[in-house]
Structure 1
């Protein structure tokens, strides 16, 4: 397992890169599908990473708390040929097992991960209603799979976004497994 920390490619204020990706509901999803929300949280994730598995409850909690105001979208960009646990069919199984109510999309070409500058799982990006980046970083302060979170970083930042407050620290890196890139 290669452990990486998120890097900065998109900067605060940058627009969310467009996408058109297949969801586990077998429908195509685009960035414009989320226009009626106060913001969008895009999380690059996968099925097998212990760092993502450790955040499942936190992701579901974010959806329960904010899902009517903030669109939450998981994107799996991992190479499923070399990592079959991250296949599209397994995404459906995991989403059902874990009770995901947010959209979970597959990035087979890995182009979307590259456009966002995502390099690890989980790698979350929070955008405002104009689809401008306001925060890139961790979901909470539990930075190891077995750690207990004492600060809900993303929840606090979503509340600030919804309250019209500035998020002072717009980059607070997430840590996780590397995205499993396809060999060229």
Structure 2
């Protein structure tokens, strides 16, 4: 897992979907385009059943927190092995869910590797330090709900972290890793941590 207080990795990636002002970024979004407020980065994709399971709560997170922080979705799955996670699939997913936040395609998987991503979904909450540097405050699961386990889909873990960030309160360092579908790495380009337990 990425260490807490790690700075937000720099990126410049194709923009698949997103409402204004993101829709005016000439189809590419960079870390430098982000406003200086807290940021929630979500590693998602279109096909994974774990992602589909949490889509309603992601929509609720946007409704509840979207005015106070920036939400950003990234899909890093290999388009060689999973073409259904390409532009059309992601755009259809965002349209069906009514998501307005930017959704980026990390086709070379550089951002997923910089985040030490392992699965979809996975959540990273950053907040600006006094010098404006976005640093990691939370990385891990949304909540304890999984497909078929009948636990409430309420975003409890992530919501608690986001509320603390917005209130200026330190986030507990007891953070459980997310559970989901492995990121589908491009063949032969798997990171060193692929297949390791977290």
Q: TM-score, normalization: structure 2?
A: 0.83
Quote the offset at 1:75 in angstroms: 0.4
Relative contact order (alpha carbons < 8 A, sep ≥ 6): 1 or 2 greater? 1
Contact 1:14–1:132, Cα closer than 8 Å, also in 2: yes
Q: Aligned partners of 2:138 and 2:63: how far apart in 1?
A: 20
In the alignment, structure 2 segments of 5+ residues that lack a partner are 18-25, 189-198
SS of the residue 1:48 aligns to: coil
Quote the offset at 1:170 in angstroms: 5.1
Matched, 1:35 2:35: yes
CA RMSD, 1 decimal: 1.5
Instruction: Write out aligned runs for 1:118-137 (5 A).
Output: 118-129=117-128, 130-137=133-140
In the alignment, structure 1 segments of 5+ residues that lack a partner are 1-7
Residues 58 and 30 (structure 1), Cα distance of their counterparts in 2 relative to 1, 3 Å cut: same
Contact 1:134–1:170, Cα closer than 8 Å, also in 2: no
Deviations for 1:136-158, whole angstroms, at most 9, x for unmatched residues?
Answer: 0111221x223333661111111
SS of the residue 1:89 aligns to: helix
Matched, 1:50 2:49: yes
Alignment partner for residue 145 of structure 1, among 141, 144, 147? 147
Contact 2:44–2:120, Cα closer than 8 Å, also in 1: yes
The structure having more radius of gyration, on CA atoms, is 2
Give the match for residue 196 of structure 2: none
Moved over 2 A (4+): 146-151
Q: Aligned partners of 1:160 and 1:107: how far apart in 2?
A: 29
